[in-house]
Amino acid sequence: MSAYAADTWGIPSQTFLQWYLLAGAVAVGLSLYSRILARRTPSAVDTVRPPLTPPEVGALTSDYQAILASMAILRSAELITTDGKTKLALSPEDKNRLDWFTRTVHKRLGNGKVPLRQVRLMGRLNIALAQLRTSLIDAGYLQRPQRGLGAALRIVPIVVVIVIGVVRLIAGITGGKPVGYLFTAIIVLAVLIPFLRRNSRRTALGDVELRRMKRENSYLSPKLRPSFTSYGPSLAGLSAALFGSGALVLIDPALAGALSTGAAYGPGGGGSGSSFNSCGSSSGSDNSSSSSCGGGGCGG
């Protein structure tokens, strides 16, 4: 039997592995390019954009961080109590001063007949959070979620390469060929799928805007222990929006603890709030004893 006939599918093991690795790299590259395209800011978005409110800034990171921003505003303005109950009805001045999302949070808190819980509050604000995300998507800051077919198509090239590799792997094992390297390549591609399929929350514009806001407002970081009494409710909310729950801890530790449902906090904390969300030789044949692939095997 010739060496050619002995090769799986008539393709030498090392040759197949080289082409397989190239195909895998191309597939990963296509998936990454698809992610880059999805993160681009829509060209139809106006270049002139109004300043973002604290809840909108928070929503760039997570739904929960948007709520943190509003809670920080309301507590700093003494409009809610330390256990999350509405303390005062909103006056006409308050309604003009507060953004629509913060007014909605105040309304959903109500009289606090049930204990304040983060999950329960996010459930009450589900529609408002969806509206907040939609406005940021339309403004070009958040990426439109890719689900179903759209998300699946992103990883189709990798899946095709994996399927071909699995078929070759089975054929190689059946023929008693070394398949160690091929098996490793398949595993690596499979591990990459969840990362490549995952949706990025922000667009490139959203990333730039969030970095700019953090840089320009670094003095609001809870690590610096800013005086929110002096800065006022709006900047207190912006601190929570940018740097997370540490700001609310500085304002009211009890309220932060009640809202977090037991999560660990520290005044220096600047967590993103994302944990609370909703905000890639030379052997000529398979049976050659001098194969440069070594004991691990090649590509079947």
Q: What average pLDDT score do residues 35-47 get?
A: 61
pLDDT score of 164: 92
With beta carbons less than 8 A apart as the criterion, state whether 182 and 298 touch: yes
The answer to whether residue 265 scores a pLDDT higher than 50 is: no
The lowest-confidence range among 36-50, 92-106, 175-189, 272-286 is 272-286
**Span 183-209, pLDDT tens digits:** 999 999 999 888 877 777 898 889 999
With beta carbons less than 8 A apart as the criterion, state whether 177 and 291 touch: no
With beta carbons less than 8 A apart as the criterion, state whether 243 and 270 touch: yes
Q: What are phi and psi of 80, to 5 degrees?
A: -135, 160
pLDDT band, residue 149 (cuts 50/70/90): low
Q: What are phi and psi of 274, to 5 degrees?
A: -65, -20
Could you give the CA distance from residue 170 to residue 167 in angstroms, rounded to a whole number?
A: 5
pLDDT score of 287: 41
For 192, half-sphere exposure in the C-beta direction (CA atoms, 13 angstrom radius) is 23
Pick from 267, 265, 283: which is nearest to 275 by CA? Answer: 265
pLDDT band, residue 152 (cuts 50/70/90): low
What residues contact 293, with CB distance under 8 A and at least 6 apart? 13, 14, 17, 178, 181, 281, 283
**C-alpha distances in Å from residue 185, one per residue of 6, 98, 161, 191, 286:** 23, 55, 10, 10, 18
The lowest-confidence range among 14-18, 166-170, 175-179 is 175-179
| Domains in the chain: boundaries | 1-38+151-194+281-300, 54-144+201-268
- pTM assigned to the model: 0.66
**Span 72-97, pLDDT tens digits:** 999 999 999 888 888 878 889 989 99
pLDDT score of 233: 94
Q: What average pLDDT score do residues 106-132 get?
A: 81
The answer to whether residue 173 scores a pLDDT higher than 60 is: yes
pLDDT band, residue 278 (cuts 50/70/90): very low
The answer to whether residue 268 scores a pLDDT higher than 80 is: no
**C-alpha distances in Å from residue 197, one per residue of 42, 102, 207, 208, 215:** 21, 33, 19, 23, 30
**Span 210-220, pLDDT tens digits:** 999 999 999 99
Q: What average pLDDT score do residues 132-140 get?
A: 92
Which of 102-111, 140-149, 221-230 has maximum average pLDDT?
A: 221-230
The answer to whether residue 150 scores a pLDDT higher than 80 is: no
pLDDT score of 291: 43
pLDDT band, residue 113 (cuts 50/70/90): low
Q: What average pLDDT score do residues 3-11 get?
A: 63
The answer to whether residue 47 scores a pLDDT higher than 70 is: no
